[in-house]
Structure 1
Amino acid sequence: MGSVRAEVAAEALRREPSESPSRWASAELRSPTLVRPPAARSVRGRGRGQRAADRLLRSSAHLAAPHTWARLRQVSTAGKTAARVQNPYRGARVAIVRARWNDEITRALAQGAIQVALAEGAKVEEFEVAGSFELPPAAAMLARSGRFDAVVPLGCLIRGETAHFDVLAHAVARSLAELATSLPVAIPLGLLTCENIDQARARSSPDHNVGAEAMEAALELVSLRHAMASSSARASRSASTARSRSTRVKRRRSPGSR
């Protein structure tokens, strides 16, 4: 009788380890969050530290789901939208500097820029240089002349077989950016940097013309500059009026000679 009971107990011990891991493994596969043993939940009267750990576990459960901003970043846009001019300054004096290299493309860019300028009442003068590398020095001379509110450089670079394209693209863009931030004249970036002629034609067409977009950006910068100048003038007049009023009040309060 004793030997039978011993065999039954041994059989139970052999079965228990093999069943328990599979049960917990299946529970972990079903649940995306951390699984705690049921016995740990049923114990009552636990200490403050254990309760704090439970609250931390529950509060961190939301990390399993992706955040809203992460889901939004994964959504791809169908295409880019061009920024249209807002509150352009009418009557602005604008110079267009066009590079003759890739003449077909730069003429189309200039045509788009002129159409926008005339539609906004701007006065336009056109200038030409040999290539895109000459755009920054020409733009600097025109900007420093004091005759123009904006200088719009227009050029086109198309990649070739050597590194000449990369050298020119970086040099011209960097030089124009330095001029735009150092001179009190609106200077946009009207430089096309394309892999082939088809890309250049697509970006100088009437439907998508980078020259027109550069002119729109320049006119908006001119408008911003005049708005800031008007605001500064009004602030200066207000400060002067306040000082004069303060002076008059002090004179009234000071004892005069009788």
Structure 2
Amino acid sequence: MQKTEGHLIGLPDSRFALVAARFNDMIVERLIEGAADALRRHGVPEEQIEVIRVPGAFELPLAVQRVADTGRADAIVALGTVIRGGTDHHQHVAAECTKGIAQAMMVTGVPVAHGVLTVDTLEQAIERAGTKAGNKGAEAALSALEMVDLMRQLEL
């Protein structure tokens, strides 16, 4: 049986876009730092990492789609934080963000890692942005790294 899977290697010519929301910036900035650090630790040169900011999580899919369409990145890491409030607004934002990110990936064929936190409390967001639960931005970046390598293997 033949097995094909991606590896966590940053090829020197691979380019990554971190598309990140400004809303809940205190948390998202930690996700960006975690993602960039993970990429650098796996051999991606600093100049091959681009950060693109959008107003909030709802705007992420459009920017992700545009970046993917231009070919300026081999993979995209979408980063944001949606925190439950007093209404169900967060559910709509999170659902449309996730659906739009997935659609952009499927339409363009460019891997998009989902690093958008959907949490009930600020404390949960802090835990997932580098404390108790690790850094979900870093985890998403590792997924993007693996997918770039896998996509290149599947082209052969």
Query: Which amino acid in structure 2 is aligned with residue 228 of structure 1?
Result: L
Residue 82 of structure 2 contacts residue 117 of structure 2 at CA under 8 Å; is this kept in 1? yes
Cα RMSD, aligned residues only: 1.4
* 8 Å Cα contact 1:112-1:206 kept in structure 2: no
SS in 2 for 1:107: helix
Contact 1:158–1:195 (CA<8 Å) still a contact in 2? yes
Q: Following TM superposition, by how much is the alpha carbon of 1:206 offset from its aligned partner in structure 2, in angstroms?
A: 5.2
Return the match for 1:111 from 33, 53, 72: 33
Instruction: After TM superposition, give the deviation of residue 163 of structure 1 in Å.
Output: 1.3
Query: Which residue of 2 is the match for residue 224 of structure 1?
Result: 150
Could you tell me how far apart the structure 2 residues matched to 1:184 and 1:89 are?
Answer: 19
Cα distance per residue 1:229-250 (max 9 Å; x no partner): 12xxxxxxxxxxxxxxxxxxxx
Q: Counterparts of 1:11-160 in structure 2 under 5 Å?
A: 86-91=7-12, 92-122=14-44, 123-160=48-85
Taking a change above 3 Å as real, the CA distance of residues 162 and 206 of structure 1, as seen in their structure-2 partners, is: closer
Q: For structure 2, which runs of at least 5 residues remain unmatched after alignment?
A: 1-5
2:139 to 208, 213, 231: 213
State whether residues 96 and 126 of structure 1, in contact with CA within 8 Å, keep that contact through their aligned partners in structure 2: yes
Match of 2:104 among 167, 170, 179: 179
Which aligned runs of 4 or more in structure 1 are off by greater than 3 angstroms?
none
Amino acid at match of 1:86: H
User: 1:210-243 deviations in whole A, cap 9, x for unaligned?
Assistant: 000000001101000101112xxxxxxxxxxxxx
Whose helix proportion is higher, 1 or 2? 1
Of Structure 1 and Structure 2, the greater strand share is in 2
Partners in 2 of 1:180 and 1:139 — Cα distance?
8
Aligned residue in 2 for 1:168: 93
User: What is the deviation of 1:89?
Assistant: 4.1
Instruction: Tell me the TM-score normalized by structure 2.
Output: 0.89
Q: Determine which structure has greater relative contact order: mean sequence separation of CA pairs < 8 Å that are 6+ residues apart, divided by chain length.
A: 2
The residue that corresponds to 1:191 in the other structure is 116
| SS of equivalent residue, structure 1 residue 188 | strand
Cα deviation, 1:11-47, whole Å, max 9, x if unaligned, reads: xxxxxxxxxxxxxxxxxxxxxxxxxxxxxxxxxxxxx
Q: How many residues of Structure 1 are paired with residues of Structure 2 in the alignment?
A: 146
Measure, in 1, the Cα distance between the counterparts of 2:34 and 2:71: 25
Structure 1 position 87, deviation (Å): 3.7
CA deviations over 1:106-129 (Å, ceiling 9, x no partner): 000000000011112222011111
Contact 2:8 2:42 in 1 (8 A): no
Identity %: 36
Q: Which runs of 5+ in 1 are unaligned?
A: 1-84, 231-258
How many Å separate the matches in 1 of 2:10 and 2:155?
Answer: 13
Say whether the 8 Å CA contact 1:113–1:211 is kept in structure 2: yes
